[in-house]
Amino acid sequence: MRGPFTRIGRRGPRAGSGALAALCAGVLAVSVAGCGAPGQSAAGARVVGPVRVSGAELARLPRATTYTKILAAPLDSSPSAVTGGLVVHPHADEVLYAGPGKPPVGVLPATELGSPTWVPVVQQNPGWDRVLLPDKPNGATGWIYTGASGPRLDTARTGYLVRIWVGARKLSLYDNGKTLGTWTVAVGAPGTVTPTGRTFILALLSPDPPTYSPLILPLGFHSATLDTFGGGPGTVALHGWPDPSVFGQAISHGCVRVPATALSALSKVPLGSLVLISS
């Protein structure tokens, strides 16, 4: 992961096998292993165990990637709230649930777009973490069981926060509350607006051959009006632009175009870091 990043540790035993996704031309292959049983939290509180899922049921679950849609996933209940910076990375593909003790809704791959999957935790219950997901619809979330028989997760904390104001066409980057910079950016045109809400940095890509931007940072968000764009699934991203006259304008297809100095600063932000987009 890029940038200052505090790794907290791991939880639970390993389960399942890896997956790989590549933007615009990807292949997804996932398998997951079984579920645990109810247990006790460290404080002695009763932990609700996950619903048991057969292998056949697991095979039918949708994968939570930028290419997919999981309509059964619960939507983010606090889309404008700042988190505490907790992020998790599954060592293997893990089952996502609608809530503690509720049915499964999908599978979170261990990798996304060629990078390890890091997602922000937005809520915690004993034995469970609720995380933001990269699939459609925007604001999709899922619960990962972290009890004694749950998956192994790397757990870390990032102090970085990206805030974007669509109307003002501004982007600010913070590290533990300290402003690292504020830039004038380009946002979505009236017919292809930049979506608002709470999302995260999904990956860091270096196009080969180079395109309009040396780096592209896909977010866990999608265009509300474009199902596909440029051969991809309409993923909203932060990226540079060769013509600086666009900055300050509502001109893009939903992505946020940033100056070179902003792109350099953003490239150091760890994956999974929160991005808040306001109107």
Report percent pLDDT > 70 for the chain: 81
Q: Would you tell me how many other CB atoms lie within 10 Å of the CB of residue 70?
A: 22
216 — alpha (psi -120 to 50), left (phi > 0) or beta? beta
Q: With contact defined as beta carbons under 8 Å apart, do 65 and 77 qualify? A: no
For residue 58, give every residue at least 6 positions away whose Cβ sits within 8 Å of its Cβ, in sequence order, or none: 31, 32, 95, 104, 107
Q: Would you put residue 277 in left (φ > 0), alpha (ψ -120 to 50) or beta?
A: beta
CA–CA gap between residue 148 and residue 215 (Å, rounded): 40
Q: What is the mean pLDDT of residues 208-227?
A: 91
Per-residue pLDDT for 149 more than 80?
Answer: no
Per domain, the residue ranges of the chain are 6-157, 160-278
- Other beta carbons less than 10 A from residue 33's beta carbon: 16
Q: Is the pLDDT of residue 66 over 50?
A: yes
pLDDT exceeds 80 at position 96: yes
CA angle 253, 257, 259 (to 5 degrees): 165
- Cα distance between residue 182 and residue 58, in whole Å: 44
pTM: 0.85
pLDDT band (50, 70, 90) for residue 14: very low
The C-alpha atoms of residue 107 and residue 92 are separated, in whole angstroms, by: 10
Across the chain, mean pLDDT equals 85
Q: Is the pLDDT of residue 81 over 70?
A: yes
- Quote the percentage of the chain above a pLDDT of 90: 73
Asked if pLDDT for residue 132 goes beyond 70, the answer is: yes
Radius of gyration of the chain from its Cα atoms, rounded to whole angstroms: 18
Q: Is the pLDDT of residue 9 over 50?
A: yes
Between the CA of residue 147 and those of 38, 94, 139, what are the distances in Å?
8, 13, 25
Band of pLDDT at residue 193, cut at 50, 70 and 90: very high
CATH of 160-278, one of 3.40.50.720, 3.90.600.10, 2.40.440.10, 3.90.1640.10: 2.40.440.10
In this structure, which amino acid lies at residue 25? A
The 10 Å Cβ neighbour count of residue 168 is: 14
Q: Which residues contact 74 (CB under 8 A, 6 or more apart)?
A: 98, 99, 105, 140, 141, 142
Is 58's pLDDT higher than 60? yes
User: Beta partners for 164?
Assistant: 171, 277
- Residue 227 has a pLDDT of 72
Q: Residues of 101-137 as b/e, b for ≥16 C-beta within 10 angstroms?
A: beebbbbbbbbbbebbbbbbbbeebbbbbbbbbbbbe
| Alpha-carbon gap, residue 274 to 198, rounded angstroms | 7
- Tens digits of per-residue pLDDT, 111-130? 999 999 999 999 999 999 99
Per-residue pLDDT, averaged over 11-38, amounts to: 29
Closest by alpha carbon to 161, among 22, 10, 259, 278?
Answer: 278
- For 225-235, how does the pLDDT look when each residue is reduced to its tens digit (9 = 90+)? 877 666 678 89
* Predicted pLDDT of residue 150: 57
